[in-house]
Structure 1
Amino acid sequence: MKRIFVISFILYIAAAVPLLAQKKADTSKPNLILIMVDDMGFSDIGSYGSEIQTPNLDKLAAEGLRFREFYNNSICAPTRASLLTGQYQHRAGVGYFDVNLGLPAYQGYLNKESLTLAEVLKQNGYSTLMSGKWHVGKDSLGWPNQRGFDQFYGFVPGASNYFDIGEYGQAPPVTLIKNNTKENLKPGEYLTNKIVDNALAFLDEQNKTQKPFFLYLPFNAPHWPLQALPEDIAKYKGRYDIGWDSLRQQRLARQRELGILLPNQKVAQRDPEVPKWDNLTYDQKQLWKAKMEVYAAMIDRVDQNIGRVLAKLKELKKDENTLIVFISDNGAQGGYAGTNRKPQRNGGPIGSPGSYDYQEQSWAYVSNTPHRQYKNNMHEGGFSSPFIAWFPKRIKGGQIVKGTAHLIDIAPTFYEMAGATYPANYKGVKPHPLAGKSLVPVLTSQATEVNRGEPLFWERAGNRAVRKGDWKIVSTYPSYKWELYDLSKDRGETKDLAGERPDIVNELSADYFKWAERTGVVDYDKIKPNQPMQIPGQSTPGPVAAQSNH
């Protein structure tokens, strides 16, 4: 009997060892955190030249890696489509926005052939968590829990108030979703805080498992409406009395000091639509500086909450084995409406519950320093984002590199870091091949920029661009004329070289039309909505009225 027991025990141990090894292997995989802010410009955090207090992001930058060149898709929903799937937006089904224009590339929600980060990582043993803004499909069949996320808290459409009914009683209820169940923000709660409250709760619950985790944390801030906590606004009282002309010069000087802006780079020329600060009246200055005080407060609160995430990682002893990536979904939003603009629907002072102001073009001109143009445009100010990557185990701190990366590169990067297999078949569907390249060689100091072997492409509402090496062509709807810039010297896009180098224009244009055909891009004039609405600051038709400015 004793001999039988010993043999049985040995067999049990033999069977258990592989399982224990598997658990150990799973927990040795890196945790992944993807943080995105909304409508924030290139220079709006300290490590990219800002005066806004962002010590936690600055810590990640100092201990990690920054890119000078990282591209998004210039507007909310298309950016999210590419980020979540590793596909160009049209290939993922969100070529225009989260509205259906009647073609597969423009259906307004993620198609099944474009697998989300959560779907792939979950299949590879990860817990998948999300807290924040979705905005890639309104139908509940395509909500986060139905697209691979184990846990979700946040909102589905393109924007949200930050407060429920407050002192002024004008803010409508803020409807949020937690794992497919609707709930409302309570009076006194602030959305940015609640997003991270839930993210931290998810991390605590996930810590009971033996799995690594992927956390997607897309903030609403600093997207309009400008609403912030009084204590955060108070920190910036008087900071913007100097106005946008002086502030832009301060940011340019800081960018040069940091090495974000190289000495040989030309900066964008002054936006002629932005009035000189010194020409404004006293009352006009009071209105304008209040906008930037609130905008800064919103970014400050995001950074405070990122600090809470870092503290939680340390508490859980997961800080050394976690990759964090931080980006913005597009450049700051333009939309100069004149210095006498009367805020619409405002139920209280700028920043309070019920106020509906936004940053507007004069301050967005500063936010996008040193670049040209704004959200929804394919010049550098429209789709250039700060990029910070932090991973103590694998990323050498304090680096600033060229990068030249795109949203489509995030998915292959995360999959390589996680040792994840991208499936050839997923629930009976053959997934699209990934469009981007892994950033791992750049993140681990094996390269200073992505070697992709092909150009990068953009199209949104008729606006188009191609980046090939240091050359970039861009056209702004309704014009179909290409401009050409040498970004190695002129990232401010101050000198159009199209007339001097028609050979380059023709080469990149031919590349564009081949890409457009294989990606499903359609001439915008053939599919644009019947009731287009202009995005402020743009002469091009933007999303329909219900979706404008998201």
Structure 2
Amino acid sequence: MSLNEYKPGSAFPGVIGRTADVSSPAWPMPNRAREGAPNVLYIVLDDTGFGQLGCYGSPIRTPNLDALAGDGLVYNNMHTTALCSPSRSCMLTGRNHHSNGLACITEGSMGFPGSNGYIPFENGFLSEILLAQGYNTYAVGKWHLTPAEATSAAGPYDRWPLGRGFERYYGFMLGDTHQYYPELVRDNSQTEPEKTPEEGYHLTVDLVEKAKGMIADAKQVAPNKPFFMYFCTGAMHAPHHVPQEWADKYKGQFDDGWDAYRQKVFARQKELGIIPADTVLSRHDPDVQEWDALSADERRLYARMMEVFAGFLEHTDHYIGELIAFLKEMGEYENTLIMVISDNGASSEGGPSGSVNENKFFNNVPDSLEQNLAAIDDIGGPKYFNHYPWGWTYAGNTPFRRWKRETYRGGVSDPFILSWPKGIKARGEVRTQYAHAIDMVPTVLDALGIEAPTSIRGVTQSPIEGFSLASSFDDANAPSAHITQYFEMFGHRSIYHDGWRAVCPWPGTSFVESGIGFGAPISYDKLTELDARGWELYNINEDFAETNNLAETERDRLIAMIGMWYVEAGKYNVLPIDSRGTQRFAVERPQIAADRQRYEYFAGTQMVPSNAAPRLLNVHHSVSVDAVTPSGNTEGVLFAYGGNDGGISFYVKDGKLIYGHNYVADSHFRVEASQPLPAGRHIFSFEFEPTGKPDFSKGKGTPGKITLLVDGKPIGEGNLPVTIPLVMGLGGGVTIGADTGSPTMPDYEPPFRFNGTINKVWVDVSGDRVEDYEERMRIYLARQ
């Protein structure tokens, strides 16, 4: 017998009498999805270029993604914003990144509607839409869509995943993380990996296992209930971390260099029909070294860095394959709409020489070829935070020019695979329709037969700005629905319209040619000059890789497209144009709690992320710990800040109090007490007193004197000849009573928990701080 159900909010259709025998029940109707509704799976790769997947012509083996392409469609005309968080906001809302308040990453937000870092609730997420349609909703992996100042345990949580329509979350909140020692969040709380690197832990493996678990948890109870999963790997963002056996598969395969890679990929792309047969390969980038001009040691090191990247990508593909195999095993694969995309082109943040510790780059500490060569056998392991040189970046974006952060096609043209065996008849075909990340949401809604809601949780919704790709599913010749699309990233501008692209590069066509580095400001007068003489024009229908600038011969068209760019800019909150990549950090933003001179911390609490932690660099400071030591052997970390790529640790080992300073993994300094710690309750402290001035441009923070104290009495002192100048470790914040994540000092294994009792910790930063805001913002931009 079927139950009498009614929609919540409507009139009760049953009968209510004086007693049950003369009454008829009716039940609020459960929120059920349409029968047979497909699952939806987003797979978002990070920093993966157009020419890095096997099905896009790369020699790197990606058999599982290739198989998805073989079961579905490969798009060669998909675009993103050139930066991660802005692109991801487009994928989830169907609105442009400035409409989402994400002109760049939230760490560089400004006080304007298009760049304040807060995605409006008027721009509903796909998760919010599908949740209301009876779907389970899961987010796994990288998030980086919450304002940076709201990512600590103080919240607010309304822009965390669970605040934007996801029922469950497991991943990391910021732009990157250590693949062996990640900063993990489960739902709204921090958590720790369940294994160590020595036990085989790797973030990608963990994310896939958690994704499978979330799906299985619900499907075993309600097999007919569909899910939406937003699955975002940390790969292929730095650090490029992978077990050695995966990297060793590629030994010797990149010894001929980045230009040889480009030529091979370019030829393969033509064979596969990924690019038109008449495509001209873009030029050798002026910022990239000639491979043959490098020393033998440089070639050996850079080739190994690429071997590690290739192994990392194949490893990622393997575990994505496990997720797909799991769907097949459950009988869910055929009716799952899968979209695979990268958030931007390949990343150039390794600079011209790459690095085995990216934190050196962020701190202006020069990489040493000798040191890097000494590390060559361990690159890819947990010891290093490595990134390849930008020669491999430009190769990874074959056939296009330039890279991430810039709106040439190398920065904004990305791989896009779409598979839905039950809903799409075509198999293994290339699609050429123009597309942008804002088209993903309307494509899903069209495929599911769902209209975009006018209201979500009482908030009236803005119009979706993308266009459905569903017409292209089974018709290779379907016209592009998306005719016009603007681009802007740090003042680098472009616009597409009906087969043409106009580009205004800033700071120029390359750093070498312009003589200007990234982040140079554009004044009003400079913008006027750029609009008069700085734009280029390309006929993409005939010049797929933007190699033939028609600005002079098609002047009228170019002028019209420049005007069109400003129309789009006005429509989507793009103005004001702000090319500054460094000074933005000095802008004062609303904070949950203002900077203060004295901080209190407690044991058993969550890690305090670096953006909410006290700034201890280049300032007189002290840390005091109210603790009870056991009567036996005392050991463990009292206070730590950073990771194995740089930071400080205040700890006890062999019964003695120790201050450790990890200078970007280049040097490790220890100041040890002269006598063992007494048992019982005491105040253990260290004081840092600057003894000189920092030299930020040369990667040197202020030298200083360390004094160790027990109950205010000195028990040891020592000098630090140099300290970290700009940023602590990339993979950790402040922890109390343990050093979770990668070990800040090499003489203990994490988490090295304190075996006594910690009552309270005080951090005093009342000294005068020396800041370089320009350098700090450069670091944040490089980590998105």
TM-score for both structures, normalised by structure 1: 0.89
What is the match of residue 143 of structure 2?
134
- 2:455 is the alignment partner of 1:442: no
1:506 Cα offset (Å): 1.5
Give distance in 2, aligned partners of 1:356 and 1:483. Answer: 38
Q: Deviation per CA, 1:55-86: give whole Å up to 9, x if none.
A: 11111111211111100110111101111110
Give distance in 1, aligned partners of 2:462 and 2:77. Answer: 26
Give distance in 2, aligned partners of 1:286 and 1:315. Answer: 43
**1:437–1:450 contact (8 Å) kept in structure 2:** no
Give distance in 2, aligned partners of 1:528 and 1:279. Answer: 31
Give the secondary-structure state (helix, strand or coil) at the position aligned to 1:515.
helix
**2:356–2:386 contact (8 Å) kept in structure 1:** no
Give distance in 2, aligned partners of 1:296 and 1:465. Answer: 31
What is the match of residue 393 of structure 1?
422
Give distance in 2, aligned partners of 1:273 and 1:144. Answer: 39
- 2:555 is the alignment partner of 1:546: no
| Structure with larger RCO (C-alpha < 8 A, sep 6+) | 1
Structure 1: stretches of 5+ with no match in the other structure: 1-11, 165-173, 534-539
1:127-526 equivalence runs, <5 A = 127-137=136-146, 138=148, 139=150, 140-164=157-181, 174-185=182-193, 186-188=195-197, 189-207=201-219, 208-209=221-222, 210-335=224-349, 337-339=351-353, 343=357, 345=359, 349-395=378-424, 396-445=426-475, 447-452=477-482, 454-478=483-507, 479-480=530-531, 481-525=534-578
1:531 Cα offset (Å): 5.2
Give distance in 2, aligned partners of 1:459 and 1:58. Answer: 31
Give distance in 1, aligned partners of 2:230 and 2:84. Answer: 15
Structure 2: stretches of 5+ with no match in the other structure: 8-26, 151-156, 361-371, 508-529, 587-773
1:359 Cα offset (Å): 2.2
**1:402–1:448 contact (8 Å) kept in structure 2:** no
Give the secondary-structure state (helix, strand or coil) at the position aligned to 2:417.
strand
Give the secondary-structure state (helix, strand or coil) at the position aligned to 1:334.
coil
1:15 Cα offset (Å): 4.3
**2:33–2:226 contact (8 Å) kept in structure 1:** no
Give distance in 1, aligned partners of 2:88 and 2:254. Answer: 32
1:476 Cα offset (Å): 1.8
**1:543–1:549 contact (8 Å) kept in structure 2:** no
**2:142–2:173 contact (8 Å) kept in structure 1:** yes
Q: Structure 1 residues 255 and 28 mapped into 2: Cα distance closer, same or farther (>3 Å)?
A: same
**1:82–1:88 contact (8 Å) kept in structure 2:** yes
TM-score for both structures, normalised by structure 2: 0.63
1:311 Cα offset (Å): 1.1
Stretch deviating more after TM superposition (154-163 or 186-195): 186-195
Which is strand-richer, 1 or 2? 2
Give distance in 2, aligned partners of 1:402 and 1:341. Answer: 37
**1:412–1:437 contact (8 Å) kept in structure 2:** yes
Letter aligned with residue 82 of structure 2: S
Give distance in 1, aligned partners of 2:478 and 2:59. Answer: 28
Give the secondary-structure state (helix, strand or coil) at the position aligned to 1:106.
coil
Q: CA RMSD in A?
A: 2.6
Give the secondary-structure state (helix, strand or coil) at the position aligned to 1:105.
coil
1:302 Cα offset (Å): 1.4
Q: Structure 1 residues 340 and 387 mapped into 2: Cα distance closer, same or farther (>3 Å)?
A: closer
Q: Structure 1 residues 466 and 441 mapped into 2: Cα distance closer, same or farther (>3 Å)?
A: same
1:342 Cα offset (Å): 7.7
Of 57, 61, 74, 1:66 maps to 74
Give the % identical residues.
33
Q: Structure 1 residues 528 and 340 mapped into 2: Cα distance closer, same or farther (>3 Å)?
A: closer
**2:75–2:417 contact (8 Å) kept in structure 1:** yes
Give the secondary-structure state (helix, strand or coil) at the position aligned to 2:231.
strand
1:336 Cα offset (Å): 6.8
1:159 Cα offset (Å): 0.6
Give distance in 2, aligned partners of 1:466 and 1:392. Answer: 34
What is the match of residue 9 of structure 1?
none
1:448 Cα offset (Å): 3.9
1:449 Cα offset (Å): 4.6
Q: Structure 1 residues 336 and 219 mapped into 2: Cα distance closer, same or farther (>3 Å)?
A: closer
1:204 Cα offset (Å): 0.4
Letter aligned with residue 180 of structure 1: N
Give distance in 1, aligned partners of 2:574 and 2:239. Answer: 32
Give the secondary-structure state (helix, strand or coil) at the position aligned to 1:135.
coil
Of 112, 127, 132, 1:118 maps to 127
Which is helix-richer, 1 or 2? 1
**2:78–2:414 contact (8 Å) kept in structure 1:** yes
Give the secondary-structure state (helix, strand or coil) at the position aligned to 2:339.
strand
Give the secondary-structure state (helix, strand or coil) at the position aligned to 1:386.
strand
1:549 Cα offset (Å): 3.8
Give distance in 2, aligned partners of 1:23 and 1:175. Answer: 35
**1:74–1:376 contact (8 Å) kept in structure 2:** yes
Stretch deviating more after TM superposition (186-195 or 407-416): 186-195
1:109 Cα offset (Å): 2.9
1:50 Cα offset (Å): 0.7
